[in-house]
Amino acid sequence: MANKGLIGVQMSTIAPAKMPHFDAYESMGKLADIGYHCVEISQVPMTAENVAGFRKAIDELGLNVSSCTASTSPMLPGMPGEFLCNPDDYKKTVEDCRKLDCDMLRIGMLPMTCMGNYQKAVDFAKEANEYALKLKEDGIDLYYHNHHVEFVRYDGEFLLDIIRANAPALGFELDSHWIHRGGQDPVKFIKKYAGSIRLVHLKDYRIGEMPIPEGGVDFTSKEGMMKFMSNFTNIVQFAEVGEGTLDMPAIIQAGLEGGGEYFLVEQDDCYGRDPFDSLKISHDNLVKMGFGDWF
């Protein structure tokens, strides 16, 4: 077992949709200035310009691309994108990985059409396993990233466990926040998946301040009660690493012992804070935790 991994950034944190202006090379430079030297690419269109920007960052800034993102098929019918089920998209995805010296692809989530019952879960797992075997021949390992939806039970089993049992060639990228939000202990669950992981998402969890409407709540009206309950139930937030409630050192240690090599900081929502500022807070907190030499 290695005595340390490499801490990087999941690019969804600073994806083009969240930025007034996005330039791949410029963004990598900002991450390097904070102290990060590794990224996982997600929610960034793999245009020729962006791929070239990432390549330039590898060559000039010493950055490393741990993994790129792939989908087996559209999340919903008609959804645009690049999919492994399309031979041309498959070929381009492999070529993009090779251009970036990347030997891992990760599936962000299974298509919505593959959810709903045990058999659909099995069918997806078997399909993903076939892609994993095919990609292996091209020198690329395929991983599956969890959210909370994979902790729905079909026939008494977690969806994620069903995928694992029916896709022996597939690895797993475990996300600390979503495991916790799915009702499981991230440390214990990561240990359960030991040997199947090279990628771990470091994403903290916090309960935000409950908004109280000015003038109070009208409990006598249905609308007032619905608004109150919405405020009451929707205060779970993503947090900068070290600013939430999860035991990040224990999560990192469990990931390392289970085969984790890349530990990727991700924050789906920064709640108005500049994402680069959030990433700096996470970086600095991880340094304080004793992981300064993991960057």
Helix, coil or strand: residue 89? helix
The upper half-sphere exposure of residue 167, i.e. CA atoms within 13 Å in the direction of its Cβ, equals 28
- State how far the Cα of 20 lies from the Cα of 225, in Å rounded to an integer: 37
Q: Which residues pair with 236 in a beta bridge?
A: 207
Extract the tokens encoding 9.
Answer: 């950034």
- State how far the Cα of 31 lies from the Cα of 83, in Å rounded to an integer: 29
Question: pLDDT by residue for the chain (295 residues), tens digit each?
Answer: 679 999 999 999 999 998 889 999 999 999 999 999 999 999 999 999 999 999 999 999 999 999 999 999 999 998 999 999 999 999 999 999 999 999 999 999 999 999 999 999 999 999 999 999 999 999 999 999 999 999 999 999 999 999 999 999 999 999 999 999 999 999 999 999 999 999 999 999 999 998 887 777 888 899 888 888 888 888 999 999 999 999 999 999 999 999 999 999 999 999 999 999 999 999 999 999 999 999 9
State how far Cα 293 lies from the chain centre. Answer: 22
Q: If you search the block for the tokens 């998209």, which residue do you land on? A: 89
